[in-house]
Chains A and B, each alone.
Chain A
Amino acid sequence: MNYLLHILIMIGIYSIVAYSLNLTTGFCGLISLSNAVFYGIGAYVYTLTAIHLNFSFIPSLIASLIITGIIAFLIAIPALRFRGDMFVIVTLSFQMIIFTILYNWVSLTRGPYGIPAIPRPLINISFKEVGLKLSINSLFEYLILILLINLVFLSLLFILYNSPFGLALKSMREDEKVSESLGKSVFRYFLYAFVITGIFTSAAGALYASYVTYIDPTSFTIEESIFHICILLIGGSGNIKGPFAGVIFMIILPEILRFMGIPDTIAPNVRQIIYGFLLVILMFLRPRGLAGEYEIK
């Protein structure tokens, strides 16, 4: 039962990641390799504010959203001057830079030693005399928390997808020049989308940190960024079905392999090899992914 709850929680965390990255990849048509940065900074800001400043869950979460938003803004300004391969290279450079900082700024992040004993979420809301104090400990309570956060964030994102903003992004994805000629600033729209992606991804990072209660920089490497983008490339992007298919597939596949009796020592490699083959085959036969709308350009 706990095992099932764990998988559901991971699906919850990664669906926030996938749907927010969907805004950059599926709607703007940009392949960003700096997503693990947002995920990682979200996790670190949550952890540091919770441990050093004794913030409860919601203030910590808000701090991660704000700080990651600022960093996403700073990354977007140079990165969005480029498209195609060069956009990938610039976001990848930021991924490497921030990872190096997380890894080497030992006095702040404890570097490779990681930060253990991250407090479990404590929800502390008081309004006039009425106060609510909830501490989340069991897996089931976690699942409820993650469901609630998913409910809030995903509905915000789904509203954005269908808003004039989302539709404008789609038109820019298809042809930037036409949209510019209609008076829309592509740079500004893409900037908003990129920053929103960063902010929402950091929430997933904060949830991850509070769930596993231990973080170190190796959870936020370039491989993690590749994993995030693979969710959208395999599942598909630009709509609501695609990222969902991606998350389910990427999280469930390892479990299927486990039930097929593949030993744990080789299972991660076998899983990666399957992802690799899928990427090549999908790109050849169906560049829009399993259930996506946007075809990679």
Chain B
Amino acid sequence: MGALFQLFINGLINGIIYSLLAIGFGIVYRTTRIFHIAYAGFYTLSAYLFFTFFKVLKLPFFISLILSLFSISVSGYLIERFVYLPFYEKKSSSGVIFIASLGIYIIIVNLIALIFGNEIKIILEGVQPSYSFYGIMLTRIQIIQALIGFILILIFSIMAKKSKIIKALWAMGDEPELLISLGLPFYNLRKLAFIISSFFVFTSSLLTVIDIGTNPHVGLPALLTSVVAVIIGGIDRLSGWILGSFTIALIQSLVIWKFSANWAPLATFLILILILLLRPQGIIGTKKRIEEI
């Protein structure tokens, strides 16, 4: 029973990390309807930017943090300005943008592999201290992950309820043309969506990387996790994304407990297919026709 409870707590902490990922993917998908595959590249890029500042240039921790956060936000801006925006202005179909995004992903990952090599890079060396509460072992990094993640999710949820800008972003997903006629800064809102997305992918990537290190191919599994979370929870609501993330994380814990970690992807994707077939609007979501989803 102790092992199960430990795995449950680990599942909750993973759920927080997955929620950050899901918010980053969801905010772009919900507002611009772009299937942002390059998000996987951004996940890898975040880790390697931090690695470059912190380990290669040997800058202090917080300065590296700020510099890499700044660089990843700029990258988010640049990809919208120089890749997605031209496609939008050309009125390209969603399939075309999907493939272009895949191209960007391939470029980013292979550039990183070319520069840094394929082996694993560790950021914090040595064994991290761990604490035990009532028989549950938590490492210091897990506590940091849970705290930072929880605070960020909380802040973003409050902003989504209160802030007019986030509400405008949501409206953009429904009726992009209407935004322009309402005099809202449509193009800036699109850029904002990408910057927010970059911020969340950065935090999620960094919180994982300080724990287990990184290699150039970590992005794709992370992207798939966020896609599954957003779809099974329900695309339209922030609470759906978070619920989806926790669902996946807890189911993965359950699979690890019953079978082994190797089988976790099978469970994740089976659930995705089942949800899509039985409840295509997601766990919490309003019912729509299948063509709209």
A residues adjacent to B (C-beta < 8 A): 31, 78, 81-86, 88-90, 92-94, 96-97, 99-101, 103-104, 222, 226, 233, 266, 269-270, 272-273, 275-280, 283-284, 287, 296-297
Contact = CB atoms under 8 A, between A and B. Distances in A.
Interface of B: 35, 83, 86-87, 90, 92-100, 102-107, 109-111, 113-114, 220, 224, 227, 231, 260, 262-263, 265-266, 268-270, 272-273, 276-277, 280, 290-291, 293
A287 B263 contact: no
Nearest to B102: A279
B263 A100 contact: yes
Given A100-B262, A222-B220, A283 B276 contact: no
A277 B107 contact: yes
A266 B113 CA distance: 9
Looking at B100, B113, B220, B227, the one whose CB has the most chain A CB atoms below 10 A away is B100
Looking at A78, A84, A277, the one whose CB has the most chain B CB atoms below 10 A away is A84
A86 B86 contact: no
Given A100-B265, A287-B92, A287-B96, A81 B107 contact: no
Nearest to A275: B106
A30 B205 CA distance: 32
Contacts, number: 118
Given A100-B265, A104-B262, A272-B110, 13 more contacts: A82-B276, A84-B95, A93-B273, A94-B273, A104-B263, A273-B110, A273-B111, A276-B105, A276-B106, A276-B107, A276-B110, A296-B95, A297-B94
26 contacts: A78-B273, A84-B94, A85-B35, A85-B98, A86-B276, A86-B280, A90-B273, A93-B269, A93-B273, A94-B269, A96-B224, A97-B270, A103-B262, A269-B114, A272-B109, A273-B106, A277-B107, A280-B100, A280-B103, A283-B99, A283-B103, A284-B90, A296-B96, A296-B99, A297-B94, A297-B96
Contacts of B102: 226, 279
A275 B106 CA distance: 8
Contact of A269 (B35, B110, B266, B270): B110
Contacts of B224: 92, 96
A101 B266 contact: yes
